[in-house]
Amino acid sequence: MESDQDGVAQHEDSPLSHVTRSEVEPRRAAASRNGNRVDKPRIEAAVREILAAVGEDPDREGLQDTPARVARMYAEMFAGLHQDPRAHLRRLFTQKYDEMVLVKDIHFESMCEHHLMPFIGKAHVAYLPQGKVVGLSKIARVIEVLARRPQVQEKMTEDVADLLMNELDARGVGVILEAMHTCMSIRGVRKTDSVTTTSAMRGTFRTNASTRSELLALVYGGR
Ligand code: ZN
């Protein structure tokens, strides 16, 4: 991770290294990436613009608080941009358990980066430990952080798998995401009940077919 160079106090949940920073970057952008912050006044101004652009009057009574409300909502939906999911994986426990650990049905809400509309679903996360395990709730925390970013489902699936593979020192990681995309259900093709499934397999889950089918049986067996 890059060190903090612009004089802003480093927040505990510092940004991931994929957030690149350059000398010429506007100061405000750099500052907002350093804390758990989203530039809400800027969102408010933009929402007013959108309302005006669709032919509304942003000053009419019912819309007066809308820009501020939307800004708070976006700050919440995109809070994961300013948090490091690895913070939840620092405490590992030594455990002589080498069978599959599966956390099923972790509910998540994320935001499709193509339409800025939510996609909502469940994550199923499995790993094969190698002498170290992590608290089960921490996996749900990781999903929560990674979900709260603008992205596509495919990328989120791979990010979860790569992060856990790196941080848990596991023999393998398997991630399955199932989600309903509101950008598909209320506009465009209007496929209201279609669910998109994505998976990312790492280590033994990728190389060993029986490990993979054990995971699929555990996730889908009861359905
Ligand atoms: Zn979309």
The CA 154 to ligand 1 mean position distance, Å, reads 12
Residue 36 pLDDT class (50, 70, 90 cuts): low
Average pLDDT (139-149) is: 97
pLDDT in tens, 98-112: 899 999 999 999 999
Dist CA 126 CA 168 (whole Å):
12
Q: Are 124 and 146 in contact (CB under 8 A)?
A: no
Q: Are 5 and 25 in contact (CB under 8 A)?
A: no
Listed in sequence order, the residues at least 6 apart from 203 whose beta carbon sits closer than 8 Å to its beta carbon are 128, 165, 170, 171, 172, 173
pLDDT in tens, 83-136: 999 999 998 888 888 899 999 999 999 999 999 999 999 999 999 999 899 999
* Residue 107 annotated in active site: no
Average pLDDT (159-169) is: 96
Active-site pick, 82, 124, 153, 214: 153
Residue 192 pLDDT class (50, 70, 90 cuts): confident
Residue 207 pLDDT class (50, 70, 90 cuts): very high
For residue 56, the model assigns a pLDDT of: 98
Ion ligand 1: residue ranges with CB closer than 5 A:
112, 114-115, 183
pTM score of the predicted model: 0.80
Tokens read off for 37? 């912050």
For residue 84, the model assigns a pLDDT of: 96
SS (H, E, C) 194-208: CCEEEEEEEEHHHHC
For residue 127, the model assigns a pLDDT of: 97
Q: How far is CA 181 from CA 154, 162, 189, 192, 201, in A?
A: 13, 23, 11, 9, 23
For residue 25, the model assigns a pLDDT of: 34
The CA 85 to ligand 1 mean position distance, Å, reads 24
* SS3 state of residue 4: coil
* Residue 124 annotated in active site: no
* Residue 82 annotated in active site: no
* Residue 154 annotated in active site: no
* Residue 114 annotated in active site: yes
Active-site pick, 25, 64, 114, 154: 114
Residue 159 pLDDT class (50, 70, 90 cuts): very high
* SS3 state of residue 60: coil
State the chain's mean pLDDT as an integer: 86
Tokens read off for 137? 């709730």
The CA 193 to ligand 1 mean position distance, Å, reads 15
| Full set of structural domains in the chain with CATH | 39-77 (1.10.286.10), 92-220 (3.30.1130.10)
Higher confidence at residue 61 or residue 36? Answer: 61
The CA 129 to ligand 1 mean position distance, Å, reads 35
Higher confidence at residue 33 or residue 215? Answer: 215
Q: Are 160 and 179 in contact (CB under 8 A)?
A: no
DSSP 8-state class, residue 156: H
Which residues, in sequence order, are bridge partners of residue 108? 121
Active-site pick, 11, 56, 109, 115: 115
The CA 6 to ligand 1 mean position distance, Å, reads 35
